[in-house]
Amino acid sequence: MFYQIKRIVVKEGFANQVVERFSKRGGLLEQQAGFIDKQVLVKKVRRGDEEVMVVVRWESEEDWKNWEMSPEHIAGHKARRGVPKPEYILESSQDLYYTANSEG
């Protein structure tokens, strides 16, 4: 399995806006071959900056790459080109992981 994990840090009080954006179902992502599921996690904090993690699980790295290179995904990014990110987003990053096979 292959995991795409987005980490988004936002100003206090704005985590729900990020959750809303990434929690939508029935989009193009869910229709892609190899897509398994998506989870949106919110770090429990009492005060201060908030953190949202979006974990997308794929059957394989190749399936993820096919999504990244798909015309639909590229078109979505082109449509947002030049649009400034919301000012409540302080930082964002993406990491990629695979399931380590313990079979020897």
Q: What is the pLDDT of residues 26-41, one digit of tens each?
A: 788 899 999 999 999 9
Q: Judge whether 42 lies within some domain.
A: yes
Spatial separation of the C-alpha atoms in residues 35 and 33, rounded to whole Å: 6
Q: What is the pLDDT of residues 70-102, one digit of tens each?
A: 988 888 878 778 888 899 999 999 999 999 875
CATH (domain of 6): 3.30.70.100
List, as own/partner pairs, every contact residues 46-49 make where C-beta atoms lie below 8 angstroms and the sequence separation is at least 24, other chains included.
Answer: 47/12, 48/12, 49/9, 49/10, 49/11, 49/12, 49/90
With contact defined as beta carbons under 8 Å apart, do 52 and 42 qualify? yes
Residues near 60 by Cβ (< 8 Å), separated by ≥ 6? 1, 2, 34
Q: Judge whether 104 lies within some domain.
A: no
Q: Judge whether 9 lies within some domain.
A: yes
Q: Judge whether 103 lies within some domain.
A: no
Bridge partners (DSSP) listed for residue 5: 55, 95
Q: Which helix (H) or strand (E) holds 90?
A: strand 89-98
Count of domains observed in the chain: 1
Q: What is the pLDDT of residues 39-60, one digit of tens each?
A: 999 999 889 999 999 999 999 9
Range of the domain at 61: 2-98
Which pTM value belongs to this model? 0.86
Q: HSE on the CB side for 70, CA within 13 Å?
A: 15
